[in-house]
Amino acid sequence: MKKILAILILILILPLVSSDWKYQTKEKVYDFRILDYDGDGKSEIAVGSEFLHIIDFEGNLLKRFEYPGYAFDFSKVYLVNSFVLGGKNKGYLVDYLGNMKFEYPLDGEAEFAMIRDIDSDSRKEVIFATEDKIYLLYRNGNLKVSRNISGIKKIECTDIDGDGDMEFIVAADKFYVLDKDLNNIWYCCTEADTFLVNDFDG
């Protein structure tokens, strides 16, 4: 009786959990985002693996970038929708058509990649982070500043104090808050794995 009941439950539940479609990257997936890749007002899915795959909401491949997407971000750079992409020992800035704007050597595998306007000058910077180093680059690919920090597990950029400049919050061998030039504002001597930035007191 129990077996019959279990079979009946499976028959009822399986149609509810089955997917409408699936897309196989054939490689390990590291990250994904929902974004309007081509500016047509419709959302697409960007999936980062050994390559970056752009998929529509029906599961159709729209474009595959021949660059790794271990970590990536998407924003306008020079008024053009662009991806910053991190892979093994290299970071890239690529426009939405797949044209590479620059390539930059990294000291390891990219764990984080971001596009931000760090200093509110309306010119966005590119950030890469490996496990042990943060790179802050100008949008033309020239290095602005870098900083060695051991054991980076999470990094975010946000304007904590409302002065218009971004701060870097880093969970690593210690917990760091850095200024826009990656200098210490303060840190605490405890290893951190993650964090949450929010207005907890309203």
Q: What is the pLDDT of residues 64-121, one digit of tens each?
A: 999 999 999 999 998 899 999 999 999 999 999 999 999 999 999 999 999 999 999 9
| CATH tag for 31-188 (out of 3.40.640.10, 2.40.50.140, 2.40.110.10, 2.130.10.10) | 2.130.10.10
Q: Are strands 44-48 and 31-35 parallel, antiparallel or unpaired?
A: antiparallel
What DSSP designation does 25 have?
A: -
* C-alpha distances in Å from residue 29, one per residue of 41, 47, 54, 70: 26, 7, 13, 8
Question: pTM here?
Answer: 0.85
Q: What is the pLDDT of residues 135-169, one digit of tens each?
A: 999 999 999 999 999 999 999 999 988 899 999 99
Going by C-alpha positions, the residue among 198, 159, 152, 157 that lies closest to residue 175 is 152
Residue ranges of the domains in the chain? 31-188
In whole angstroms, give the CA distance from residue 65 to residue 183. Answer: 35
